[in-house]
Amino acid sequence: MTSSAATALDTRRALPPRFCNFDRLLYAMKARDIDGLVISTPLNMFYLTSFHGVAHKSDEPRPFTFILSRHDPENPIIVIGDYYLANFIEQPSWVQDIRPFRAVMMPLDREPAVEDIDPFIPASQRDSALMRNARKQYQFNQSSAIHTALADLKLNAARVAFDDIGLAFRLGIDISTVADAYDPLMYARSVKTDTELRLLERSTALNEQAIHRTITAWDKGATWRDLNLAYATAVAELGGFVRDPGGMVWGHPRGTDSTVMLSTGLENDEVHAGTHVMFDCHGTLDLYCWDGGKTWVVDGEPEAGAKRYSNATERVADMLVQEMKPGVKISQLQSKGRDIYRREGVPDADSAIIFFHGLGLSHMDIELTTADGNPNADWTLEENMVAPVHLLYPGTEHERIWLEDVIHITADGGRPLFSWGFDPLIR
């Protein structure tokens, strides 16, 4: 089984000024009676504006905000720290009203001045409409800039959804008018645009190459920490990123222990020949996530019962991918997968773990609550969703079988983004 995913990575380049599923977002806002959005978390900011701020981490105050009115959707406003202003030259955004504010680099020992913005505007761009507007709209603090933008978009007394409710508190917004933006954003993000599909194909291709390089790097005496480092090194060489403590997610109990567990980053036992390594690797490229992998039998191949478990898992995966069509619920896929495990005669088919989630800028990208207020746990597939399928038949160090492929949902069934099929990796 093959996919259309690229086998070689191209050079990173600027993304389209707008690649989000904008019409779906506006639909979600209307369905939830939301007049406006105030977006300040990094992933949603990137999704809606193409802006990717390099300097700020998840728990820091964010010097960027996107403000959108559903009633004037083509004229949103970005409020941005002054030092980020030039980013919009290299990576354009469809948002044309970009308003900088005096931020942390500016001195506190002298009075603010309009000219404080000038060092952040390239000389070649000073006469551009974007920079003329930025200079005209420059304010001396973030709060006043956001309040002005809300007033200009007639949202200061409207029902506005924040993706960081804490920002609403800090701004002194009347909480009775504030909604949570999580579900409308996830509703939009769950169905991918063509640009997003290409980004996910590219990140999956990187993960596949990195896993192959990691296998090649193994030698007798190598430890789990060595393996994790080899994977992280391969990812970095290919232009991707993993997070501390590493990119490999599954824990690997030794001997006869068949516990299902995740890695801690502290494991440092030797990876012996014959071990079934479950590659479930996470990381990002252009902020879009990769996920998954499959079983690697170290310096060998599946033996005894493991052959049967492996063959059964391949058949389950093949069936599920064909069945992953619009309109199908997750519980239906899980039931059909377990039926095949039973028909294949594996012992204790109920112990098999079969699960799904969305994938995109996060490993969720699925709304938690629908517009009518119902929980969305047993969600329904839609065309152009991307949903990894996870299959784990638990077992001992030499029996366990793992497979995770990233699946693009089409009208004709699932399209795997990995190119290597469903059988275990051997070397």
Contact yes or no for 211/240 (Cβ under 8 A):
no
Residues pairing with 162 in the sheet: 38, 180
Distance CA 43, CA 52 (A): 8
pLDDT at residue 321 tops 80: yes
pTM exceeds 0.85, yes or no = yes
- The one-letter amino acid code at 267 reads E
Contact yes or no for 228/271 (Cβ under 8 A):
no
pLDDT at residue 58 tops 80: no
Instruction: Calculate what percentage of the chain has a pLDDT beyond 90.
Output: 94
Distance CA 333, CA 413 (A): 12
pLDDT band at residue 9 using 50, 70 and 90 as cut-offs = low
Distance CA 184, CA 39 (A): 12
DSSP codes joined into one string, 115-180: GGGGGGS-GGGTTSHHHHHHHHH-BSSHHHHHHHHHHHTT-TTS-EEES-HHHHHHHT--GGGEEE
pLDDT for the residue 3: 43
pLDDT for the residue 10: 63
Contacts of 30 (CB under 8 A, 6+ apart): 70
Q: Which long-range contacts (CB under 8 A, 24 or more apart) does 5-12 make?
A: 5/201, 5/202, 5/204, 5/205, 5/208, 5/417, 5/418, 5/419, 6/201, 6/202, 6/205, 7/205, 7/419, 8/205, 9/202, 9/205, 9/206, 9/209, 9/238, 9/239, 10/202, 12/239, 12/286
pLDDT band at residue 5 using 50, 70 and 90 as cut-offs = very low
Instruction: Calculate what percentage of the chain has a pLDDT beyond 70.
Output: 97
Q: Where in the chain is the domain with CATH 3.90.230.10?
A: 192-426
Q: Max CA-CA distance within the chain?
A: 78
pLDDT, tens digit, 9 for 90 and up, residues 200-247: 999 999 999 999 999 999 999 999 999 999 999 999 999 999 999 999
pLDDT band at residue 51 using 50, 70 and 90 as cut-offs = very high
Contact yes or no for 48/40 (Cβ under 8 A):
no
Distance CA 46, CA 63 (A): 13
**59: its two tokens:** 């728990």
Distance CA 306, CA 140 (A): 65
20-29, 47-56, 315-324: range with lowest mean pLDDT: 47-56
**184: its two tokens:** 């409308």
Distance CA 388, CA 406 (A): 4
How many residues in the chain? 427
Contact yes or no for 45/78 (Cβ under 8 A):
no
Distance CA 359, CA 289 (A): 7
pLDDT at residue 1 tops 60: no
- In whole numbers, what is the pLDDT of the chain averaged over residues? 95
10-14, 144-148, 274-278: range with lowest mean pLDDT: 10-14
Distance CA 348, CA 325 (A): 28
Domain 22-189 in CATH 3.40.350.10? The answer is: yes
Residues pairing with 389 in the sheet: 356, 405
Distance CA 261, CA 270 (A): 18
**47: its two tokens:** 């999704």
pLDDT, tens digit, 9 for 90 and up, residues 366-400: 999 999 999 999 999 999 999 999 999 999 999 99
**404: its two tokens:** 């995770």
Residues pairing with 98 in the sheet: 78
- The one-letter amino acid code at 271 reads V
182-190 helix and 22-31 helix, angle to the nearest 10 degrees: 140
266 CB burial (10 A radius; 0-12, 13-18, 19+): exposed
- CA separation (Å) from 356 to 289, 330, 353, 378, 386? 15, 7, 10, 10, 10
pLDDT band at residue 197 using 50, 70 and 90 as cut-offs = very high
pLDDT at residue 6 tops 50: no
pLDDT for the residue 195: 98
pLDDT at residue 154 tops 80: yes
pLDDT for the residue 57: 76
Q: Where in the chain is the domain with CATH 3.40.350.10?
A: 22-189
CATH superfamily of domain region 192-426: Creatinase/methionine aminopeptidase superfamily (3.90.230.10)
- CA separation (Å) from 12 to 127, 208, 289? 29, 18, 15
pLDDT for the residue 13: 86
